[in-house]
Amino acid sequence: MARRALVTGGAGFIGSHVVDALLADGFDVELLDDLSSGRRENIPDGTTLHELDVASPEAARVIRDGAFDVICHLAAQIDVRKSVLDPMRDATINILGTINIAEAVKSSGRATRVVMASTGGALYGDFVTPPNDEEFPKDPESPYGIAKLSAEYYLAYYGRLHGVESAVVRFANVYGPRQDPHGEAGVVAIFCNRILGDESMTVFGDGLQTRDYVFVKDVARATVAAATRPLPPPARLDARAFNIGTGVETTVLELADALQDAAGRQVGITHAPARPGEQARSAVLIDKAREVLGWSPVASLHDGLAETYAWFAARRATTAAGGPV
C-alpha cells in the first residue's frame, strides 16, 4: 500500500513542488489549500484538493480521518510586510494553523510525521553574523519571524509531551518556477518580469544587502528528505530543525547581474530609497542537512535562474497567445 501524504499549501509556489517530489517518491498525495494565494493550475492530476483554511475545524477533520503517514505543512502567511500591518492574521495562520495540525495528529493516534516549513532568514535576525547554523540565537524582528519561531516551539512541545513526530525545514530565500511576482519573497520573479518587459530592475538602497538564494526543486527534495529520513530524538527546539539553503551570500546587485546573464538580456538597474528595517545580511549553514538528511543543493545559481527565467518567458508567451495565466 502506498504511503499517504498531505501537503498544506500544496497549490502554492513551494508546496506544489513538494507535491511533485512526493509523487515522484511514490506517495499518494492530497492537498489542503484555501487558494488565497495558491493556484489551481499548480495541482497535478491524480491528487485530491481540500479547499480549506488550515486553521479550521474542517481541516483538522481531514487530518484526523485521512490516515496520513506524512504531513508537509507549507500553508502560511509569508510576507513580512503584511505581518507588520496585520500581526493578528499572521499569527492566526502561522501559529494557530500549526497548532490545529498538531492537535489533529495527536487526536488521530497515528504515527504521522509533520514537516513544517519555517524561515532561515527572518528567524535569526540581524544580531548574529551569517552564515547561521541551527543553534544560533534567534531574535526575529517581524511578527512573521516571531510566529514561525512560536510554531517551532509548539511542535517541539507536541513532540516531547504527546509524541507527535515532527521536523522543521528552515528555508533560505527560495526562488524558481511558479513563484509569485508579488510580495517580498518574489524578488527573482519580479526581476524576471522586469527583464521580459524590457524594464530596468528596481533595487532598494545600495543593493549590497545579501540573501541566500536556493532553488525550489532543491527545497522540495529537502522537504521530502525530512519527511522520510530517520530523525534524532526531539530533545530540544533545534534538534529536528534543518537549515535549507546554499550557505552562499549573494548581494541584490549580484543577483540582478546573474539573472541578466542567464536571460541573455540587459535592462539595467534603477535605485530606490532603502526600505526601513530591511535585514542587511542573511545566509544559513547547511552542514546538518547534509549529515542527517543526506541532502545538498544541486542547482547552481546560474542554472536555477536560467530555468526560472525560461518558465516566466514561456508563461508570458502563453498568456500573450490567449492561454491561461
The rounded distance, in Å, linking the Cα atoms of 11 and 42 is 5
Q: Which residue has the cell 502506498?
A: 2
> With contact defined as beta carbons under 8 Å apart, do 59 and 50 qualify?
yes
Beta 201-204 vs 269-272: how paired, if at all?
Answer: parallel
The rounded distance, in Å, linking the Cα atoms of 54 and 56 is 6
Which of 27, 12, 21 lies closest to 112 in space, CA to CA? 27
Question: What proportions of the chain, in percent to the nearest 5, are helix, strand and coil?
Answer: 40, 15, 40
144: annotated active-site residue: yes
The rounded distance, in Å, linking the Cα atoms of 93 and 80 is 13
The rounded distance, in Å, linking the Cα atoms of 297 and 243 is 12
Task: Give the HSE-up count for residue 271: Cα atoms under 13 Å, Cβ half-sphere.
Answer: 7
> With contact defined as beta carbons under 8 Å apart, do 51 and 33 qualify?
yes
The rounded distance, in Å, linking the Cα atoms of 304 and 138 is 29
End-to-end, the C-alpha distance of the chain in Å comes to 37
> With contact defined as beta carbons under 8 Å apart, do 40 and 22 qualify?
no
Which of 2, 161, 172 lies closest to 70 in space, CA to CA? 2
The active-site residue out of 144, 154, 213, 309 is 144
What are the helix and strand counts (H, E) for the chain? 11, 13
The rounded distance, in Å, linking the Cα atoms of 145 and 143 is 6
Catalytic residue set: 144
